Amino acid sequence: MSFMIPSAIKISSQFDAGNIEVLDLTNPQDIQLSIRKDNQSDFFQWFHFRVQGAANQPLTLRVLNAGQAAYVDGWPDYRAVASYDRETWFRVDTAYEADTGELVIQHTPAQNSIYFAYFAPYTWEQHLDLIAQAQQSALCEVHDIGTTLDGYDLNLLKISKPTESEAPAKKQIWVTARQHPGETMAEWCAEGFIARLLDEDDALAQSILEQAEFYVVPNMNPDGSIRGHLRTNACGANLNREWETPTAERSPEVLAVRSLMQQTGVDLFLDLHGDEALPCNFIAGQEGAPHLPDTILAQEDRFKQDLAQINPDFQLERGYPPGKFGPETFTIAAFWVGREFNCPSMTLEMPFKDYDNRPDADFGWSPERSIKLGESMLYPIHQWLQADL
């Protein structure tokens, strides 16, 4: 029995974190695409789509509106990622044509179904698996702390060891990731951090848990993640500009986390992000914030130095200039938390591009390296705890 299979190329994005609009698909050498804006927002840059029916055909995919994206300086030297199995994501030939404002991706698929994305996606199903697997540890409790505007769960992991009644009070450490949903490397990094912290055979992790309790929110922005947004939640709110005056109507995610922080207190805060333009890993502390105590700044500087010592994928030479955010400063998580609790409060930024000091021609900056960086974060935390003894 025989049947006819359609031979035309198809492009789709109707799946978790999908984002693309097809403008013209008639010529495989001139496929014209457009990235959809975040809902009720002008932000856009994240893309994630599937191409079918193009095995062994050279493709030229042109993203026509790349020149109007949120961070145009993120396109030079950037290469898109692709995957056949949605597990291994490799880099493909990509060029930004500044004169036309187009991002041009060229690739000849070896198989009939291939996915392209801005960075390796971290899907909602992966997130739910991460939460479920973490809960299998006796060290971890899963807490539902709210519901997003689209009706998704906002989960927090509390990671701690039992404490003897006469033991000193433990430090309260908070870690959040993916306030900006398109920055998926943040949740990959959180995965590595959580896994190592829960490893009962890891002496460093167990030593840390004798001195500290952790509150981890691996995905602060489920709605934007699922919708395929770059930077905002369901109603177009940039969560990392909502920390001074969050509301249930606009930013329930921030309101829930902030309220819990005020109950537990915060001794150290880490917020995990990605940066479109800089081809390196760096930490933005509270430099330039008004009335920042020298003791807090010194702790943040030491934290960065300790991380650079343990992981060569982290560097100290490049980052944001002090005072970069101007009047927005205290709407940002790290600055608001640092001021509210008078504690070290830092934003870890990872690249969408490759890390130029240690380039990888096949994979660039990747989920695997993000995971390893998350694992490395335990070392500077341990050093910070020891310095406080």
349 is catalytic: yes
Q: Which helix (H) or strand (E) holds 351?
A: strand 345-351
Please tell me which residue in 166, 349, 368, 375 is annotated as part of the active site. Answer: 349
Non-local (6+) Cβ contacts of 174 within 8 A are 214, 215, 216, 261, 264, 266, 268, 269, 270, 337
Q: Which helix (H) or strand (E) holds 214?
A: strand 212-217
Closest by Cα among 51, 189, 28 to 110 = 51
3-state helix, strand, coil in the chain (%, to 5): 30, 25, 50
Sign, CA torsion 365/347/216/41: negative
For residue 194, give the amino acid letter. Answer: I
First-last CA distance in the chain:
76
Q: Which helix (H) or strand (E) holds 176?
A: strand 171-177
Residues comprising the chain, all counted: 389
DSSP 250: T
Task: Give the DSSP letter string of 271-312.
Answer: EEEEESS-SSBEEE-STT-TT--HHHHHHHHHHHHHHHHH-T
Q: Which residues are catalytic?
A: 349
